[in-house]
Amino acid sequence: MSSLPDPALRSRPLGPADLEDAFRVIADAELVDAGEVLVERSDIEADWSRPSTDLARDTIGVVDGDHRLLAMAELGRQGTRAEAYVRPEARGRGIGTFLAAWTEQRAAEMGAPRVGQAVPEGSAPHRFLADRGYEVAWTSWVLQLPEGAEIPDRTLPPGYRLVTPTSEQYRATHRVITTAFGEWSSREGETYEEWAPGVVDRPGFEPWMLRVVVHEPGRVVGACFTRVDDQGCGFVHQLAVDRSHRGRGLAQVLLSDGFRGAREHGATRSELTTDSRTGALDLYLAVGMEVTSTWLNLATDPAAAVSR
């Protein structure tokens, strides 16, 4: 693995005390590369609280002589997902190359067949990873229901009800979501203990954020998790319908309900992300959403990258 080229820099694992500085690194990078800040502190806090997260082994930070965090990287999902960010003012010093080599080495050690990162199309990180030999694994889109847009009115077919789940229904809700996501994602389904920190145990969670469709006599067959972020945007984090109940409009009901719930709790607009593996883009366009940005998941074989 490459070393830091500047003797004034050093690297170390991140810890809970680095949460605020890590947020600022990511936010500063996103503002330049994507034109907006997408991350929230609670996103990082939720990720770092998952049982599988080992900060000592799966994160790294780069600091200067004043101990200021200039860059960071972390690995998740059994080494298949990398996230690396460098403050704009610290770029051009070889830090990005160091972080890329670290993520590839760590992913190879974990036995991951592929390691990838989502980057804005046409951005500096896109060009950097493409030059490093990374290839497009899939395309993602950020979609928005604009401020003031009419929320579509959708109704459920007979035999279905839209409800706020009880805590006893959380595990059934988790099963619907992870089973549906597993149909198009190559990663293994998250356990409930891995899922809960990002949803029902997420900092700031309120019951209205999670809504489910039940099929009589009460089986959970669809779910939507929505929250209002720090910028007043209602973000739909997860939307899923059991395969045997699709084609009946349940997803559109859940989506409209999520938009409405977010607006009732202060959101001026709503957003979500989807990617080319799901085949769901037309669903979101059908309820009036508009594509606002395109992201690419660029990936490589970590073992091959390390050997180069």
Whole-number pLDDT of residue 157: 96
Query: Cβ distance 116 to 299 under 8 Å?
Result: yes
* Region for residue 111 given its phi and psi (left: phi exceeds 0; alpha: psi -120 to 50; beta: otherwise): left
Per-residue confidence (pLDDT) for residue 183, from 0 to 100: 86
Q: Is 209 helix (H, G, I), strand (E, B) or coil?
A: helix
| Integer Cα distance of 43 and 64 in angstroms | 25
* Cβ atoms of residues 286 and 246 within 8 Å: no
Strand partners, 9: none
Distance CA 152, CA 87 (A): 40
What DSSP designation does 5 have?
Answer: S
3-class SS of residue 302: helix
State residue 24's pLDDT score.
97
CA-based end-to-end distance of the chain:
10
pLDDT in tens, the chain (308 residues): 568 888 899 999 999 999 999 999 999 999 999 999 989 999 999 999 999 999 999 999 999 988 999 999 999 988 899 999 999 999 999 999 999 999 999 999 999 999 999 999 999 999 999 999 999 999 999 999 999 999 988 999 999 999 999 999 999 999 999 999 988 765 557 899 999 999 999 999 999 999 999 998 889 999 999 999 988 999 999 999 999 999 999 999 999 999 999 999 999 999 999 999 888 899 899 888 999 999 999 999 999 999 88
Instruction: Specify the residue for token string 């991951």.
Output: 112
Going from the N-terminus, what domains does the chain have, and what CATH number goes with each?
10-140+299-307 (3.40.630.30), 150-287 (3.40.630.30)
- Judged on CB neighbours under 10 Å (0-12, 13-18, 19+), 37 is middle
pLDDT, one tens digit per residue, over 10-64 is 999 999 999 999 999 999 999 999 999 989 999 999 999 999 999 999 999 999 9
- Helix extents (H) in the chain: 19-33, 41-48, 55-58, 95-109, 124-131, 170-182, 192-195, 250-264, 281-286, 302-307
